[in-house]
Structure 1
């Protein structure tokens, strides 16, 4: 199954969220693997997006509903088959990204208490749902668009820029704390930044006029909200208190959870604190 280079890279870097894959393979098996077997292994790696990500995400899901929501979004984005048209692939990617934002806003409206964060969650949900409704017919129209970039070539400018947006989201994933409003604030800041980066890739390499107009609006709106999130964060630093974790990572990398599962950072089994 053909997958774009940036989705394969995002899936690999996404092990920070989704856990490690078969880390217990023996060194002897690797050392004695034939050239044919190596080719089979590479082919299997191309099908990684078809794996059961819900099982891989158990550890992170036990840590935070927001992290579980992010995992679900990443699994769906990783599973997408790239057409090789910048507008088509951006639209379908952004649809899943927007749906992830709606899910995170719903969690804040369920668990959050802070009036400002709840108001932002309501606005984000309304804005993203509106854009989803506008983008879906565009994405469907673009299903017949011709190819204009190489999703399997990491040197392709659009591929590289989209990969960077995903890598940035993984790299900047925050350490969650006890306060749900602060968690929403930090997670949505990272989520918004990756959307801004994706929209900039569309502006630079897309061809569809309507989609590029939407990308520009996304950048303007979400950069403004990122600043609002940062301002609120500065005023509410007292909420940066961590939970007394019931389970912690044996590697002491800060990974933790309320129940047994995988470390959301390295994928190792959490140990009782």
Structure 2
């Protein structure tokens, strides 16, 4: 069937007009659609955990915290782990991604942080977890053909429910972003370590591999100790750091506190000096 040149020209013209009208709307929705697609993909690989509806910790799109971005990236990779139904195997693969997130966060603290104590902790965490990453990779490969011993798609399964609960808790307990990188590292790594403790306890309760459980117990002891160190530092340093933030948004936007004048990263209003 022949189509007239006039009809083709009109059709192209209409398509261009429609594209122009929708361009702004598409730009606004691209980020949301991409995030939804990522979550959907994670849900397909990780549907047993039903994390697709959880979402990740919110970031300020105009000025996201690099540490929070690293934490979100880690959670997305944990969600994407394909569950095989063996508690030891699935724990090793989840903790592997968890450790990689800790290393990325430690690197950011070493790049941006100034506090000597937080930098020392970042150095130790990075060294410890790089070593454990190699051990977890070896364990995951060794356990790749291990028989199933739990039901990842059953929400009432004890191991599956604990893994889901710890991911939910990690997301829900995200602290408000801080302008101070040391404070940000302290708060986010405290949440990060607590989720590792919860995961380790699930493995110790339901895992069966002796070698992996021995390594898990060491992780648990070390990270509980570091949580207490993070909390002790926070108790001493956080009030002083809060006082040093002399400027804030008149609309009280979260994460707007600053040590110098400027504009609020959320609403754009000029920061005002605290009275």
Structure-2 residue corresponding to 1:128: 129
- Per the alignment, in what secondary structure is the counterpart of residue 144 of structure 2? helix
Contact 1:65 1:107 (8 Å CA) reproduced: yes
Structure-2 residue corresponding to 1:179: 180
Structure-2 residue corresponding to 1:74: 75
Determine which of 240, 247, 250 is the counterpart of 2:242.
Answer: 240
Structure-1 residue corresponding to 2:150: 149
For residues 77 and 231 of structure 1, the distance between their equivalents in structure 2, rounded to whole angstroms, comes to 29
Offset of 1:153 from its aligned partner?
Answer: 1.1
For residues 202 and 61 of structure 1, the distance between their equivalents in structure 2, rounded to whole angstroms, comes to 39
Structure-2 residue corresponding to 1:265: none
Offset of 1:180 from its aligned partner?
Answer: 0.6
Offset of 1:239 from its aligned partner?
Answer: 1.5
Contact 1:60 1:68 (8 Å CA) reproduced: no
Change (3 A) 1:260 1:254: closer
For residues 260 and 178 of structure 1, the distance between their equivalents in structure 2, rounded to whole angstroms, comes to 12
Offset of 1:170 from its aligned partner?
Answer: 1.0
After TM superposition, the structure 1 = structure 2 runs for residues 114-125 of structure 1, keeping only pairs within 5 Å, are 114-125=115-126
Query: Is residue 53 of structure 2 the alignment partner of residue 12 of structure 1?
Result: yes
Unaligned residue ranges in structure 1 (runs of 5+): 18-56, 262-269
> Could you list the runs of 4 or more consecutive aligned residues of structure 1 that deviate by over 4 angstroms after TM superposition?
241-246, 255-261
Change (3 A) 1:117 1:60: farther
TM-score of the two chains, using structure 2 as the length reference:
0.73
After TM superposition, the structure 1 = structure 2 runs for residues 257-272 of structure 1, keeping only pairs within 5 Å, are 271-272=267-268
Change (3 A) 1:74 1:2: closer
Structure-2 residue corresponding to 1:52: none
Change (3 A) 1:194 1:140: same
Specify the structure having the higher radius of gyration (Cα): 2
Aligned pairs, number: 220
Structure-1 residue corresponding to 2:3: none
Which structure has more relative contact order (CA 8 Å, sep 6+)? It is 1
Change (3 A) 1:116 1:151: same
Contact 2:177 2:255 (8 Å CA) reproduced: no
Query: Is residue 163 of structure 2 the alignment partner of residue 162 of structure 1?
Result: yes
Contact 1:178 1:243 (8 Å CA) reproduced: no
Offset of 1:253 from its aligned partner?
Answer: 7.8
Structure-1 residue corresponding to 2:232: 231
For residues 204 and 260 of structure 1, the distance between their equivalents in structure 2, rounded to whole angstroms, comes to 47
- Per the alignment, in what secondary structure is the counterpart of residue 106 of structure 1? helix
Offset of 1:245 from its aligned partner?
Answer: 7.4
Structure-1 residue corresponding to 2:254: 254
Unaligned residue ranges in structure 2 (runs of 5+): 1-43, 270-275
Change (3 A) 1:155 1:121: same
Structure-2 residue corresponding to 1:220: 221
TM-score of the two chains, using structure 1 as the length reference:
0.73
